[in-house]
Amino acid sequence: MPTFRVLNKIAMNALDPNFAASLDQADTLAHFRNEFHFPMIEGKQTLYFTGNSLGLMPKLAEKYLEEELEDWKNWGVEGHFHARRPWMPYHEFFSESLSKLVGAKPEEVVVMGSLTNNLHLLMVSFFQPEGKRTKILCEAKAFPSDQYALASQLRYHGLDPKEHLIEVGPREGEHHIQKKDFMAAIDAHGNEIAMMMIGGVNYYTGQVMDMKHLTAYAQNKGITVGWDLAHGAGNIDIKLHDWNVDFAAWCHYKYINSGPGATAGYFVHERHHGKADIPRFEGWWGHDKETRFEMPETFKPIPTAEAWQLSNVPVMSMAPLRASLDLFDKAGVKNLREKSRKLTTYLQQVLEFVAEESGSNFEIITPLHERGAQISLLIHGYGRPLFDYLMEHGVIADWREPNVIRMAPVPLYNNFEDIRAFGEILLNYLKAQQV
Please say whether the dihedral angle defined by the alpha carbons of residues 9, 369, 98 and 128, taken in this order, is positive or negative. Answer: negative
Q: Which of 19, 48, 143, 243 binds ligand PLP (CB under 6 A)?
A: 143
Q: Is 306 in the site for ligand PLP (CB under 6 A)?
A: no
Q: Which amino acid is at 66?
A: E
Residues 117 and 303 sit within 8 Å (Cβ to Cβ): no
Q: What is the nearest approach in angstroms of ligand PLP to the Cβ of residue 249?
A: 9
DSSP of 149-210, one letter per residue?
Answer: HHHHHHHHTT--HHHHEEEE-PPTT-SS--HHHHHHHHHHHGGGEEEEEEESB-TTT-BBP-
**Residues for the chain: how many in total?**
435
- Find residue 48's DSSP bridge partners: 396
227-266 footprint of ligand PLP as x/- string (CB under 6 A): -x-xx-------------------x---------------
Q: What is the 3-state secondary structure (H, E, C) of 222-263?
A: CCEEEEECCCCCCCCCCCCCCCCCCEEEECCCCCCCCCCCCC
Shortest CB 28 distance to ligand PLP, Å: 30
Q: Would you count residue 139 as binding ligand PLP (CB under 6 A)?
A: no
Cβ proximity to ligand PLP: between 114 and 324 the closer is 114
H or E element, residue 329: helix 315-331
* Position among 116, 134, 263, 415 found at the interface with ligand PLP (CB under 6 A): 116
In whole angstroms, the minimum distance from the beta carbon of 52 to ligand PLP comes to: 8
For ligand PLP, the closer CB: 7 or 101? 101
115 lies in the site for ligand PLP, by CB under 6 A:
yes
Taking CB under 6 A as the binding criterion, the range among 94-102, 114-122, 355-363, 396-404 that sits at the site for ligand PLP is 114-122
Provide, rounded to whole angstroms, the least separation between the CB of residue 231 and ligand PLP: 5
d(CA 62, CA 275): 40
DSSP annotation string for 277-314: SS-----GGGB-TTTGGG--SS--B-SSGGGG--S---
Give me the least distance between CB of 261 and ligand PLP, in Å please: 7
CA nearest neighbour of 74 among 65, 84, 64 = 84
Per-residue x/- track, 193-212, ligand PLP (CB under 6 A): ------x---x---------
DSSP state of 381: T
CA angle 143, 145, 147 (to 5 degrees): 70
Number of residues that bind ligand PLP (CB under 6 A): 12
Least CB distance to ligand PLP at residue 36 (A): 20
By CB under 6 A, residue 146 contacts ligand PLP: yes
Cβ at position 88, least distance to ligand PLP in Å: 26
Binding region for ligand PLP (CB under 6 A): 114-116, 143, 145-146, 199, 203, 228, 230-231, 251
